Amino acid sequence: MTEKTETEGLHEAEILAQALPYMQRYAGRTVVVKYGGNAMGDESLGKAFCRDIALLKQAGVHPVVVHGGGPQIGSMLDKMGIKSEFKDGLRVTDQATIEIVEMVLAGSINKSIVANINAEGARAVGLCGKDGNMVLVEKLRRTSVDPNSNIERIVDLGFVGEPKEVDSTVLDLVIEAGLIPVVAPVCFGRDGKTYNVNADTFAGVLASALDAKRLLFLTDIEGVLDNDKNLIKELTIKDAEALIKDGTINGGMIPKVRTCIDALGDEDEGVEGVVIVNGKKPHAVLLELFTEHGAGTIIKP
């Protein structure tokens, strides 16, 4: 055995020794991971992500993967010659679009993630919000104010849903069977129609229903940044609200942080901690869960 190999072996042993207390902390607990459309763009990173999810299962954690797929949906709509309409920056999901959304999210993307996890020796099963009436929704109602007349009007986004009822029975059974659920945010409405749901919101309501130890949002940014663009490692709900109020948290980060806060609930129920982390960083999930310093911004009650 060469000196280099011995050194490498010692380093690997040290890593495992440092990770062990964190593995014990999460053993037997549920961790929901929201895998974003932007974070899943790199094939090699995607396979590494699935390897990490399989490792979580082998370490005694119960991972649940919720995935989006906005860029992939946009690409398929372009291929099919379906033009997207946007209102106030949000895509209108008409009948033709929702059929593509379901095909891409509950079909190709979902089964690709399942296949990659299975290839790593774990057993994953693909689901969507429709299965077992897991999540029932109502049509999302948005309003905006006309800048000219100052009149508030309703913005019709089509088949976009807002979660109203969550039944975790199917997920509980899948987890108890030793399988890893991979879930697409396509749901039935109370009217029986098919709706697309924002994947962050969907992950939040599932994590809360499952009493998850952690909810991880894998995105394409490091986490919440301060005004000097430095990563803020930890926030309370009160801290987060203050940063929204003073403009430090702005733009697209506001709804993501709001979703984190909603998932947390109070100290007696809901998720114990929600983390925003850069999913393009290799092994981001393992770094966040199994190392002392984590990898993103954690928000706690």
> What is the pLDDT at residue 138?
95
> What is the pLDDT at residue 38?
60
Alpha carbon of 72 to those of 38, 39, 211: distances in Å? 9, 12, 30
Q: Are 53 and 180 in contact (CB under 8 A)?
A: yes
Residue spans of beta strands (DSSP E) within the chain: 30-35, 62-67, 85-87, 90-92, 124-128, 135-139, 142-145, 152-155, 161-166, 180-184, 186-189, 194-196, 214-219, 234-236, 273-278, 297-300
Other C-beta atoms lying within 10 Å of the C-beta of residue 58? 11
Alpha carbon of 166 to those of 29, 64, 175, 265: distances in Å? 19, 15, 16, 15
The pLDDT profile of the chain, 301 residues, written as one tens digit per residue, is 445 576 655 555 555 556 666 666 777 889 999 997 566 667 788 888 999 999 989 889 999 999 988 888 888 888 988 887 877 667 788 899 999 999 999 998 999 999 999 999 999 999 999 999 999 999 988 877 666 666 777 778 899 999 999 999 999 999 999 999 999 999 999 999 999 998 989 999 999 999 988 899 988 888 888 888 888 888 889 999 999 988 888 887 888 888 888 888 665 566 888 888 888 888 888 888 877 776 788 888 8
For tokens 């919101």, name the residue. 201
Each residue's pLDDT tens digit, 94-150: 899 999 999 999 998 999 999 999 999 999 999 999 999 999 999 988 877 666 666
Domains, in order of start, for the chain: 27-300 (3.40.1160.10)
> What is the pLDDT at residue 1?
44
